[in-house]
Structure 1
Amino acid sequence: MAVKIRLARGGAKKRPYYRIVVADVRAPRDGRFIEKIGAYNPMVPKDHPDRLKLDEDRVKYWLSTGAQPTDRVARFLGDLGLAAKPAIPAHTKKNQPKAKAKERVEEKRMAAEAAAEEAAAASAESAAE
């Protein structure tokens, strides 16, 4: 049975609250789980002690039995030193500029190069006189 350590969403609309649970990969996100091992409340400040609560002994146990944390949970565990912290991909397709924005940047670069060439030619002419 493949087991994941993941977030199960709770709370009201626009007021999320997450339980950190160990669940079978086939179970729904907010559905059946094996064990609740913590909670995450993104609505409180980052330095607040109630933002992330974890039962570290149970996390270590489930990691030792082969449970795989999801990316977000792995980042939490990495911050606490319980698991390797995954790297955030620097370049994804979503954060790249679109075609028109790339064209505008290229046009500005070409205009700047042309202006620099004209200024160099003008300074060379004035120096020759």
Structure 2
Amino acid sequence: MIKLRLKKYGKKREVSYRIVAINSASRRDGRPLEELGFYNPRTDETRLNVPAIVTRLKQGAQPTETVRSILEKAKVFEQVNG
């Protein structure tokens, strides 16, 4: 199963995350199928590749709770259903 989840990168105490599509059996920082966005919790900056995310969701990818909340804030699910 494909999941949309956060991939950790950056320095200690300066962590940022990439939103990636990855096989659920892979480890957190493993090789992703596709990078779909960026999230920085310190500055609350988010950059999303919305068309690619919508495509992955329509293919059946399951977002984690954190990624789901990020996507809800960006109103991505409205585009999937619409």
Note whether the superposition's TM-score is higher than 0.5: yes
Distance 1:9 1:60 in 2: 22
- Greater helix share, structure number: 1
Q: CA separation in 2, counterparts of 1:78 and 1:26?
A: 25
Structure 2 CA distance for aligned equivalents of residues 38 and 82 of structure 1: 12
Aligned residue among 52, 74, 77 for 1:80: 74
Bigger share in strand: 2
* Amino acid in the other structure paired with 1:73: V
Larger RCO (alpha carbons 8 Å, 6+ apart): 2
Q: What is the TM-score with the length of structure 1 in the denominator? A: 0.58
- Superposition RMSD in Å: 1.2
Q: Tell me if the contact between 1:3 and 1:67 (Cα under 8 Å) persists in the aligned partners.
A: yes
Q: Which runs of 5+ in 2 are unaligned?
A: none
The list of structure 1 runs, each at least 4 consecutive aligned residues, that deviate by more than 3 angstroms after superposition, is: none
Q: CA deviation at 1:75?
A: 0.4
TM-score where L is the length of structure 2:
0.90
Counting matched residue pairs gives: 78
Larger Rg: 1
Amino acid at match of 2:55: Y
